[in-house]
Amino acid sequence: MRHRKLRGKLGRTASHRDAMFRNQVTSLLDYEKIETTDAKAKVLRRVADRMITLGKRGTLHARRRALAVIRDRDVAAKVFDELASRYATRPGGYTRVRKLRQRVGDAAPMSIVELVDRQAVGTPAKAAKPEKAAAKAAKPKAEAKPKAEKAAKAKAPKPEKPAKPARGKAEKGARGAAPGGKKTGRAPRAPK
């Protein structure tokens, strides 16, 4: 009987499946967004949510259980420090699966698995945005430069770079190049 066996086999052995999900959950918690197939994404969502729940507990036992799955100590530290505080008030559902496209090679349905409330890479936190707006408003505007000054800068000639000295044939031959400057990978022939 197949009672309470929720996880799909995904055509892999148990050891391969466990290793794959350990790798995927480590990558997901590190980068906060990964792309995978739909079937893997649905199973990965459960594993990742469980790791964040362990991070919220914060006990030594929870840390050891998380380190049994997460392959990187830095990622585990991120789960227990940063992600646990970010999702402290959220009762569950820390990940989201978004359908994406069909893979070109085998037409497998692809999905993006991402953490809910994640910050996009390179964007500042929400608290920093009002400070920037206030700083822009307080900054005085620079005086406009006259058009004649701008035109003079645009027409000014750029300094020329000095030309490289030409190398003689004696130098080329000494380095093992064939006549005509081609490198052959062997020593030049001795004159007869």
Domains of the chain with bracketed CATH: 14-130 (3.90.1030.10)
d(CA 9, CA 22): 15
Spatial CA neighbour of 66 closest among 55, 78, 81: 55
132-175 pLDDT, tens digit per residue, is 555 555 555 555 556 666 666 667 666 676 676 666 555 555 55
pLDDT at 8: 77
Spatial CA neighbour of 49 closest among 113, 125, 120: 113
d(CA 41, CA 147): 59
Stated pTM of the model: 0.59
pLDDT at 11: 83
pLDDT at 181: 56
pLDDT at 6: 72
121 DSSP assignment: T
81 DSSP assignment: I
pLDDT at 127: 47
CA 30 to chain centre: 9
d(CA 53, CA 50): 5
Q: Return the number of other C-beta atoms located less than 10 Å from residue 78's C-beta.
A: 17
Under-70 pLDDT residues of the chain: 119-154, 156-159, 161-162, 164-188
